[in-house]
Amino acid sequence: MIQWYKKVVFENYANFNGRARRSEYWYFTLFNLILSLITMSIDKMLGLEIGLNTIYSLAVFIPGLAVSFRRLHDIGKSGWWLIIIYLAIIIAAVVLVGSGLSALAGMSSPEGFGLGAIISLIIILGLSVWVLIMFCTNGDVGENKYGPDPKADGSEGINQIGEE
């Protein structure tokens, strides 16, 4: 597991090209979660507001985005889909917060907030499930426009991470 993480973070820090199979993405995600929990615990114990977890999160933001792009490439989708989906989720969250604040301030009816909240939550949930499904989908068999199949030789070797 740690080999996948090191390969993603240290050897392919900002590599947005090529393909990433499911094991590369999910082992990176799992180890990233574990390290985030550890750094959050340390921050909590030391009473830090902006501490190790913030620094760690900023340090792994680019490799996390890069491995996500490569994961989408493996299923034949452009990595830009991820940016579009994230923007849609952010817009839906802003609408949700905005409708809640306007209802609290008395500028709109509570019914309007309820409808806006339901629509926003459906959009957020739907897009989140779609991204999860894409990350769990088996990669294209054989070469696609983003590079050769990382499993083409039948091995699960770590040396093929990020290859085009």
pLDDT < 50 stretches in the chain = none
pLDDT of the residue at 132: 94
DSSP-derived secondary structure for 107-145: SS-HHHHHHHHHHHHHHHHHHHHHHHHHHHSPPPSS-BT
In this predicted structure, what is the pLDDT of residue 50? 85
> What's the confidence (pLDDT) of residue 59?
94
The per-residue pLDDT for range 61-78, each reduced to its tens digit, is 999 999 999 999 999 999
Q: Beta-carbon neighbour count of residue 5 at 10 Å?
A: 21
